[in-house]
A = this chain, B = another copy of it.
Amino acid sequence: MSGRLLILALPGLPAIEPGDDLAALIATALQRAAADDDDYRTRPGDVLVVTQKVVSKAEGRIVDLRTVEPRPEAVEFAARFDRDPRQVEVVLREAAEVLRMERGVVVARTRHGFVCANAGVDASNMNEPETVTLLPLDPDASAERLRVRLRESTGVDLAIVISDSFGRPWRLGITDVAIGVAGFEALDDLRGQPDTAGRLMHTTVIAVADELAAAADLAAGKASGHPVTLIRGAYLPPEPSDAARRGARAMVMPRGSDLFP
């Protein structure tokens, strides 16, 4: 724990298109930025936070709404709440389970287990007006691929977070959370360790990956469009050997232990 963090939005990344080699584009942008400012020279322990939007675009997780035939339920819901019925259709296709469908908002559980508005389907920041992005099929695998490719091209083992903006019950506003993680354990489990008063912590498990995603958003900015952010100095719990504890999927609360199923 250094007690000192640096968070840098990465400039110079071009608009991402389907099929782009995102890792190569990030490596080039990092190299150019480092030429001007040595802080952009990556080192072990650094985290790259990459927004879902550019990962989905590079992976071709894009739907052209002109190809979508909405089901009657989507047409009816869209008409009531002034939404695009084709977009509602895509949301329903992406939803493994619909938790709420009210007031124009669909809150759904995705196949990954994430609960969020519109099942992660997003129309923002799209240069093609009639298109939306879907979440990556396996964001943890996307993060691991970026990690491996960036290690090859930069020689540095970076940690990767893929972030998305989620709303929350009971609180207004969205915050960025982690939907993909590679290179560290998303949860920092402090149970059994002493607190500052020497008492053992019984319940403290910190969602470090979500805090990294939120911190990155402060530097990235929704409107200014910096999809990649470098974070230096954060304590990262080592990547677990147990596959079940790896990735952002380890933050998905098991259905049986959730008090708000």
Which residues on A are within 8 Å of B, measured CB to CB? 1-9, 11, 100, 102-103, 105, 107, 109, 114-115, 123-127, 129, 165, 168-177, 186-188, 190, 193-197, 199, 201, 204-208, 210-212, 214-215, 217-226, 231, 233-235, 250-253, 257-260
7 contacts between A and B (CB under 8 A): A114-B170, A170-B252, A173-B205, A174-B206, A211-B214, A214-B214, A214-B215
Task: Tell me, rounded to whole Å, the shortest Cβ–Cβ distance linking A224 to chain B.
Answer: 5
Q: Once the chains bind, are B223 and A195 in contact (CB under 8 Å)?
A: yes
Q: How far is the CA of A116 from the CA of B258 in the complex (A)?
A: 14
| CB neighbours of A7 from chain B (8 A) | 4-7, 215, 233
| CB neighbours of A197 from chain B (8 A) | 124-127, 129
Q: A8, A187, A222: which has the most chain B beta carbons within 10 Å?
A: A222
Q: How far is the CA of A2 from the CA of B208 in the complex (A)?
A: 24
Task: Tell me, rounded to whole Å, the shortest Cβ–Cβ distance linking A190 to chain B.
Answer: 6
